[in-house]
C-alpha cells in the first residue's frame, strides 16, 4: 500500500522519512531549483529518451477535438504542447502545477511557441483540485505523481474531476524489469546522475532526491491497484524502455 501521511504523520522524501506536512515544501525547493533547467534534468535522467516517451504518451491518449484536458504537474508545458493540436481550436487545456516557478516557465514557453488560445494556467495541489466534478475529458500527469505526498488523494481527485467515460493517464518512472539491467540502472541513478547534476546544473542534491524518489514510487502492479481502489475502471499499464517508465490508464465508468 502507499503511504498514508494523514494517519501516520510521516512520509518519504527520497530515502529520508520526513513529516508529511514538510514534504510539499521540500519538493517545492527541489523544483524551484531545477525549474530553469527542467529539460536538462529530464535529459540527464532519461538520456534524452523522455521526449519520445512524452510523444507516445500523448499520441495514444483518448482525446479528440473539442475536449477539455487537465495536465497536472504540467512543468514546462511539454505534454500540454503535444496535446494542444489534438484538442483543436474548440478544445482547451488547463496546465496545473503546485510550483509557481515551474508554472511560470511553462506559461512562458507555451507563449513563445504561439500556443495561447485555449490555454489556462492554475497553481494547484493535486490532492485538492479546485474544479467541479465531471469537468475534464482527459486528465494527465507526467513525471509528477511520485512527488505527491498523498498519492491516493491525488488519484481520487483525478477520478472526481473526470467526466464519465473520461480517461486518466499517468506517465512515471517505474520499476525496471530485466534483472541484469537493474544494477546498470542503479549505477546511473545514484552514481552518475548526481554528478551530472552538479556538473551541469550546480545542484547534486536535487538530482539525488529525484533518483531516490523513483525508487520510492509504487511499482507497476501497486500503482495499478491504487488506481482501481480510487474508482478507475479498465486500469492497465504499458512498460516503456524495459520498465524505466510506465504509462498507467484508467477510465471513469
159: which 3 cell numbers?
Answer: 477520478
What is the pLDDT at residue 136? 98
Query: Within a domain: residue 246?
Result: yes
What is the pLDDT at residue 195? 84
What is the pLDDT at residue 185? 87
pLDDT under 70: residue ranges of the chain? 1-8, 11-38, 41, 45, 201, 203
What is the pLDDT at residue 18? 46
Query: Tens digit of pLDDT for each residue in 60-116?
Result: 999 999 999 999 999 789 999 999 999 999 999 999 998 888 888 889 989 999 999
Query: Within a domain: residue 1?
Result: no
Question: Count of domains in the chain?
Answer: 1
What is the pLDDT at residue 36? 62
What is the pLDDT at residue 106? 87
What is the pLDDT at residue 119? 96
Query: Within a domain: residue 234?
Result: yes
What is the pLDDT at residue 90? 96
Residue 167 is part of a domain; what is its CATH number? 3.40.50.150
The reply to whether 125 sits in an annotated binding site is yes
Determine the Cα–Cα distance for residues 213 and 209; give it in Å rounded to an integer: 6
pTM for the predicted model, two decimal places: 0.85
Query: Within a domain: residue 227?
Result: yes
The reply to whether 76 sits in an annotated binding site is yes
What is the pLDDT at residue 28? 56
The reply to whether 142 sits in an annotated binding site is no
Query: Within a domain: residue 232?
Result: yes
What is the pLDDT at residue 5? 43
Query: Within a domain: residue 105?
Result: yes
What is the pLDDT at residue 233? 98
Q: Domain residues for 134?
A: 10-177+210-252
Query: Within a domain: residue 150?
Result: yes
What is the pLDDT at residue 175? 93
Amino acid at each position: 500500500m502507499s503511504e498514508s501521511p494523514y494517519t501516520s504523520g510521516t512520509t518519504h522524501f527520497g530515502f529520508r522519512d520526513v513529516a508529511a506536512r514538510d514534504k510539499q515544501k521540500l519538493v517545492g525547493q527541489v523544483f524551484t531549483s531545477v525549474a530553469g533547467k527542467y529539460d536538462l534534468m529530464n535529459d540527464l535522467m532519461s538520456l534524452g529518451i523522455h521526449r519520445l516517451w512524452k510523444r507516445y504518451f500523448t499520441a495514444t491518449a483518448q482525446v479528440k477535438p473539442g475536449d477539455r484536458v487537465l495536465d497536472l504537474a504540467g512543468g514546462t508545458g511539454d505534454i500540454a504542447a503535444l496535446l494542444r493540436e489534438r484538442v483543436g481550436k474548440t478544445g482547451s487545456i488547463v496546465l496545473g502545477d503546485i510550483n509557481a516557478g515551474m508554472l511560470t516557465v511553462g506559461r512562458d514557453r507555451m507563449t513563445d511557441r504561439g500556443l495561447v488560445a485555449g490555454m489556462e494556467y492554475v497553481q494547484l495541489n493535486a490532492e485538492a483540485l479546485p474544479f467541479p466534478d465531471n469537468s475534464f475529458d482527459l486528465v494527465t500527469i507526467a513525471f509528477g505523481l511520485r512527488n505527491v505526498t498523498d498519492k491516493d488523494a491525488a488519484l481520487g481527485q483525478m477520478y472526481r474531476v473526470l467526466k464519465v467515460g473520461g480517461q486518466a493517464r499517468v506517465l512515471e518512472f517505474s520499476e525496471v524489469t530485466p534483472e541484469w539491467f537493474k544494477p546498470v540502472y542503479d549505477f546511473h541513478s545514484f552514481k552518475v546522475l548526481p554528478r551530472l547534476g552538479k556538473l551541469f546544473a550546480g545542484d547534486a542534491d536535487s538530482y539525488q532526491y529525484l533518483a531516490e524518489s523513483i525508487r520510492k514510487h509504487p511499482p507497476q502492479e501497486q500503482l495499478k491497484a491504487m488506481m482501481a481502489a480510487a474508482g478507475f475502471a479498465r486500469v492497465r499499464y504499458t512498460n516503456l524502455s524495459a520498465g524505466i517508465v510506465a504509462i498507467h490508464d484508467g477510465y471513469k465508468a
